[in-house]
């Protein structure tokens, strides 16, 4: 019957302070107090990212006595993430340590989530503007005792007389405000009619004339959410912005979120509430910055992978997470924004793009309708690298798709010094094959590392594009061989034995802001090999299915694709050999697809058509997958010849690196 | 020795008012004021039946400030009967709470002893059963890795293969539960498809086979709410029930509720919440009594007058309450039950019947589609007597409608001893023209008053049908003249001067349960004259509009119409002269119309068609209304001849009562 004891917890350096129940994990406490701590594995105690330091002593400033004795006892699982020295300093995993007394907790810089660089900018695509919401200005004669016609019928008569429109149906929420709006506006209003449903529907009645009607296109990624505010008349992107997916604290990847939903009461509702709140926040932000309000949004078009689709809609994702991975629905669906808790115009609808199959969701359909491979002759591979890798291959004759579990290596997770693409992340690397000395560039700095005073570089870790560069450069410099192993007996202090085995020092401690050498380890190289191997093997199986010997083109979609170096990624064998100029990035094509669906209603039928026509290949049941995967682990590949890459490397006098 | 302080207490919805001593329990106060509150345990505080709600705020109508602070403090014993939420709403046990200040106390339906006699029974009408919701049983093969088709698409494929149905769209709430339902039911489910919208929509997926699909028809009257639970396959009424309209505490009639909505912050939302809660309660009650739950309800069809329509939907009714009385809409509308807060099947829709004009609402459209005067040759008058009187006149050539402010006299209000049709109400009266001695019958007793021991009669007041009888019999017995005045110099102790002027003693104090003589006063006679005069004048103007000299038929719709004596009502001139057998009651035709719209979707188009085709006559702007009203105040009329009535009265040797 006794009530739970409460303890004061203070997080430093943020200074966030609050009371939590006895027994709360430090990670949960951080969420309660709004402190973002990295957590990639979904509290499985495997990623080791949520490192924190429990401070010791009396903190006069807070009036709090903090001590290692105020958290639950050390657990063996923590040993692999901390040296004895670190342990003695008070380091713990936030997901393991439970609060049993007042605490001051220090969150080291590398464990702080957030501050990612926005990489989902707008791509310039030609979009036919034919939106499903159009706004009509009408003027009416007010009712009299001799003409007491109802408000709705009066609006319909005016729409017919002044615009030739047949009576649209009326959304319930619009009805509620209509009598007041009509009278306050002196019977001169702008009526927004949505034609995305089976019959036209009035979704807003606003006083007077409306300068600009707006809609929103949103791309919900596993890690980040991007929103594009569009003018529904001109098609122009008025504003755009992005944010971290607020579901990240519940698990960094799709499977850990599904696990969270399945293993926590109300888990799915928490996940849904987080992303709905996030979209509301983002919508308000993009609107307010340019003089609109979220209630001006007349329609939302949205894409995501299938798991995020289910979490956004609040569909319990258990069945999607288990074989045979059947989604609740493939088809696009229109849902009232209010049914989802989205705060848009009174009658606003949400157009949810269709899913393909398995985890290949509406975002990949967005890529499809943006790139339109079904209208092209070139045999192309489209790679959308997000937290998962999604592949489309084919041309106007046939299209197939697949999803490969690349893991989060390309997003900087599972990498010893991995981090998101945030300031301080090493994003570009070059290693001199002679001296084995690297030079690099960090996000937020203009100059290369060798052009700066070491103390001002401030490297913190390595982001996804950086790690591809790192592995490619280690390979080209002869530091690792094509199996990924470190070459023995090199004369450089940068290659050494570390905690994880062989490692290469990319930045010395004095060049960093974390006070330690930033290294690429043998485990990092393996993680990249696994990720790129999975992707390559998937592509190879797809080529076999289609009877392709070679590809004409590789399109890198997704924000990440825009930042990787195509030559370096070809060097590690991320995808089959093509002329390097035929491999190019198209930016956030998924987001572009959402924008096109918003602005051009004919694209919606196209989305539903192609979501079904694309033939989905379940790679995990392909008998050759294991073998292809093994071959593809090599740099760039164990068996395939890479004529274009070979020619390229020859120009750098590195032609003998690869065979064939 | 100081005198006890006195407080004013008003009980709602009865409206009984009086003064009680400080410290009286609310239960005792109710007894003193003749309000019956259930109390089974004899005030032992164990049965919890005597639940009441203490209202909060200033009640302008009564000039009373009521507050929870005006009753004794909350006692722990009450906690087991109320949730915290109910407590916050002001709920108390009447046997516990003591009066310490002025109070307005609401007695919920379930706490009212000897509730109103349910008078909205089911009429036997031939209804073509063609509902807009049909349920289909399907069986599916579960998904596999080689057939990972999504759930929705799998359902659609089965509907096509097994029933030939093209893919219906999917309601969002149905989608949420679908994956679990399909798997738990072993892929054998019943799919309910609604065709009331522009395209078919899945509104429920239930496990296994469904014995009976049910829908609800509701008639929201100003005073009472009736619900009919219907089998959507057979058309059968499975159960029905009624309750007081929970909006009554906010105003007895339509105008006072509109005033409440306009003069109180959040007034419209309180009115809406009250009726929505009421319909939810009633729905649960009719369902549970016959083994269903409210979540089995697949569709609701509902009628009400225009003001109740607006209050139910939550539309601010200001503009409806002011000239030119334009409603927010005439047309029928489909609204998701969840948008209104109704707890039905996940995707259930509400079909709101269309309004005609002014206060002539969907209930009158219900009467129209039930009676179908547009398919008949007879020139008929349909009178729907509720709290307002609504008139339809015409035949297949032309139909017109009007509304007249009869006031609540026919419902027993504004009558000195008026009461609702509850046990103890005098409902039938005969006065001997010779002796001027009356005999009467009260609701709840089989015998007439002169067949019983006076002490066992227990008369309490006069209900609506009783007051019509009373006035007609006073007139036929020569006690009042055709202007409604009491005839002077009659030799009977029953005619005397009372507080309100001349009055006739219907029941002596010893024949009552209230300990006072029950009388019909001159003011009561005037109230009946005003009510019937307004109705007659309306009918007369309508006859003039249509060029009718006489009517072929008078149809009395509405629950009240079923209980009045057609001869007596013809005698007072409630409607123009017709052969008495051609004036008859059809019961709750408005409710029947709702039921027909629920069960036969072709009736919905008919409703919208005739709601617009009926020509509305705004009586208040008719120049001849005043004059017609004056003529019609006489019993039965000042100028019109009543040949059929005359013949009838001649049989009773009363032929000389009326001229012409």
Chain A residues touching B313 at Cβ < 8 A: 172, 175-176
Contact A303/B at CB under 8 A: no
Dmax (CA) of chain B? 101
Q: CB–CB of A426/A442 below 8 Å?
A: yes
Beta-sheet strands, E only, within B395-446? 399-404, 425-431, 438-442
Residue among A150, A169, A355 minimizing CB distance to B328: A150
Decide: A341 and B205 in contact? Cβ < 8 Å: no
Q: Do A328 and B179 touch (CB under 8 A)?
A: yes
Cβ contact A303:A362 at 8 Å: yes
pLDDT means per 10 residues, chain B with 660 residues, are 78 80 89 71 72 87 86 89 87 92 85 50 77 96 92 97 96 96 97 97 97 95 91 94 86 84 90 96 95 97 96 93 91 98 98 93 96 96 86 97 82 78 89 96 92 92 91 96 95 93 96 91 94 95 97 89 87 95 90 96 96 92 94 95 91 72
| CA A23 – CA A99 distance, rounded (Å) | 5
B148, B179, B333 member nearest A358 (Cβ): B148
Confidence grade of residue A625 (pLDDT, cut at 50, 70, 90): very high
Nearest to A460 by CA among A449, A476, A474: A449
The tokens of B100 are what? 């310490």
Query: How much is the mean pLDDT over chain B?
Result: 90
The ipTM, to two decimals, is: 0.81
User: From the candidates A141, A145, A146, A150, which should be mutated to test the interface with B, based on the most B CB atoms within 10 A?
Assistant: A150
| Residues A313, B175: C-beta atoms closer than 8 Å | yes
Residue-wise pLDDT for A286-315, tens only, equals 999 999 999 999 999 999 999 999 999 999
Which SS3 state, helix, strand or coil, does residue B597 take? Answer: helix
Residue A587: band (very low, low, confident or very high) from pLDDT cuts 50, 70, 90: confident
| pLDDT score, position B620 | 84
pLDDT at position A14 over 70: no
At residue B41, the pLDDT reads 64
Average confidence score pLDDT of chain A: 90
Residues 140-179 of A with CB under 8 A from B: 143-154, 169-170, 172-173, 175-176, 178-179
pLDDT of residue B35: 75
- DSSP state letter for A17: E
Nearest CB partner across the interface for A319, out of B183, B319, B339: B183
pLDDT at residue number B83 = 84
Are A624 and A632 in contact by the 8 Å Cβ rule? The answer is no
Measure in Å the smallest separation between the Cα of A650 and chain B Cα atoms.
45
Residues of chain A contacting B617 with CB distance shorter than 8 Å: none
Give the pLDDT confidence score for residue A278 in this predicted structure. 94
Tell me: the pLDDT tens digits for A395-446? 999 999 999 877 767 766 678 888 877 788 899 999 999 999 999 999 888 8
Residues of A in contact with B148 (CB under 8 A): 324-326, 357-358, 616, 618
Cα-only R_g, chain A: 27
User: In whole angstroms, what is the distance from residue A485 CA to residue B172 CA?
Assistant: 53
pTM of the model: 0.81
d(CA B480, CA B284): 49
Q: To the nearest whole percent, how much of chain A has pLDDT over 70?
A: 95
Residues 6+ apart with CB under 8 A from A102: A7, A8, A9, A64, A65, A66, A70
| pLDDT attached to residue B660 | 45
The side-by-side arrangement of strands in the sheet containing B518-521 is B495-498, B501-507, B518-521
How large is the average pLDDT for residues A491-520?
93
- Return the H-helix or E-strand segment holding B476: helix B464-476
Task: Give the per-residue pLDDT at B34.
Answer: 67
Band of pLDDT at residue A1, cut at 50, 70 and 90: very low
Q: Please state which of the ranges A35-39, A508-512, B309-313 shows the lowest mean pLDDT.
A: A35-39
How far apart, in whole angstroms, are the C-alpha atoms of residue B124 and residue A564?
A: 77
Fill in the DSSP letter of residue A446: S
CB-count burial class (<10 Å; 0-12, 13-18, 19+) for A183:
middle
Burial A553-585 (b: 16+ CB within 10 A, else e): bbbbbbbbbbbbbbbbbbbbbbbbbbebeebeb
Cβ distance A342 to A276 under 8 Å?
Answer: yes
Cβ proximity of B119 and B411 under 8 Å: no
CB contact under 8 A, B336 and A183: no
pLDDT band, very low/low/confident/very high, at A117 (cuts 50, 70, 90): very low
Task: Chain A: give the shortest CA distance to residue B317, in Å.
Answer: 9
**Given CB atoms, is A333 within the 8 Å cutoff of chain B?**
yes
Determine what percent of chain A is predicted with pLDDT higher than 90: 66
């Amino acid at each position: 019957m006794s009530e739970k004891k409460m303890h004061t917890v203070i997080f430093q350096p943020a200074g966030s302070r609050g009371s939590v129940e006895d027994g709360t994990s430090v990670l949960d406490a951080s969420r309660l107090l709004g402190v973002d701590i990295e957590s990639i594995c979904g509290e499985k105690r495997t990623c080791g990212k949520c490192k924190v330091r429990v401070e010791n002593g009396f903190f006069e400033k807070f009036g709090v006595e903090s001590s290692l004795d105020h958290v639950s006892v050390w657990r063996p699982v923590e040993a692999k993430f901390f040296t004895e020295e670190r342990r003695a300093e008070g380091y713990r995993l936030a997901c393991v340590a439970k609060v049993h007394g007042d605490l001051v907790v220090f969150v080291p810089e590398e464990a702080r989530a957030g501050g990612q660089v926005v990489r989902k900018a707008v791509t310039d695509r030609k979009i036919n503007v034919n939106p499903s919401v159009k706004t009509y200005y009408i003027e009416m004669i007010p009712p009299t005792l001799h003409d007491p016609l109802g408000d709705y019928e009066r609006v319909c008569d005016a729409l017919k007389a002044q615009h030739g429109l047949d009576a649209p149906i009326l959304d319930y929420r619009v009805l509620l405000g209509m009598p007041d709006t009509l009278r306050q506006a002196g019977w001169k209003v702008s009526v927004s009619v949505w034609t995305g449903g089976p019959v036209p529907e009035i979704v807003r009645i606003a006083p007077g004339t409306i300068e600009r009607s707006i809609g929103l296109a949103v791309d919900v990624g596993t890690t980040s959410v991007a929103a594009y505010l569009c003018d529904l008349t001109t098609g122009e992107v008025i504003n755009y912005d992005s944010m971290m997916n607020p579901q990240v604290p519940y698990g960094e990847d799709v499977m850990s979120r599904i696990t969270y939903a399945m293993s926590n009461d109300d888990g799915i509702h928490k996940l849904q509430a987080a992303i709905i709140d996030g979209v509301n926040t983002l919508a308000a932000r993009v609107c307010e910055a340019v003089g609109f309000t979220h209630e001006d949004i007349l329609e939302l078009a949205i894409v995501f992978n299938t798991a995020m689709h289910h979490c956004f809609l609040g569909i319990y994702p258990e069945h999607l997470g288990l074989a045979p991975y059947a989604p609740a629905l493939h088809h696009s669906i229109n849902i009232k924004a209010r049914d989802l808790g989205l705060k848009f115009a009174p009658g606003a609808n949400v157009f949810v793009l269709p899913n393909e199959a398995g985890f290949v969701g509406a975002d990949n359909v967005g890529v499809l309708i943006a790139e339109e491979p079904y209208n092209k002759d070139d045999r192309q591979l489209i790679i959308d690298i997000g937290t998962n890798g999604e592949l489309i291959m084919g041309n106007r004759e046939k299209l197939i798709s697949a999803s490969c579990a690349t893991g989060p290596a390309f997003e900087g997770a599972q990498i010893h010094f991995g981090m998101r693409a945030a300031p301080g992340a090493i994003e570009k690397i070059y290693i001199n094959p002679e001296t084995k000395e690297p030079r690099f560039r960090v996000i937020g700095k203009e100059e290369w590392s060798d052009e700066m005073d070491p103390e001002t570089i401030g490297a913190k870790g390595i982001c996804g594009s950086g790690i591809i560069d790192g592995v490619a450069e280690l390979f080209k410099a002869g530091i690792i061989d094509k199996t990924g192993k470190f070459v023995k007996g090199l004369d450089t202090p940068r290659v050494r034995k570390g905690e994880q085995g062989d490692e290469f020092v990319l930045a010395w401690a004095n060049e960093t802001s974390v006070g330690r050498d930033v290294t690429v380890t043998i485990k990092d190289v393996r993680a990249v090999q696994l990720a790129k191997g999975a992707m390559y093997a998937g592509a190879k199986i797809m080529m076999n299915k289609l009877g392709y010997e070679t590809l004409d083109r590789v399109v890198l979609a997704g924000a990440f694709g825009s930042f990787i170096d195509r030559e370096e990624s070809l060097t590690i064998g991320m995808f089959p050999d093509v002329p390097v100029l035929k491999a190019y990035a198209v930016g956030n094509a998924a987001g572009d697809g959402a924008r096109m669906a918003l602005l051009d209603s004919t694209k919606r039928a196209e989305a539903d058509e192609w979501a079904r026509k694309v033939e989905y290949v379940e790679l995990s049941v392909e008998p050759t997958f294991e073998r292809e995967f093994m071959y593809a682990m090599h740099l760039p590949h164990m068996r395939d010849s890479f004529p274009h890459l070979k020619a390229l490397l020859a120009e750098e006098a590195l032609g003998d690196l690869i065979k064939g």
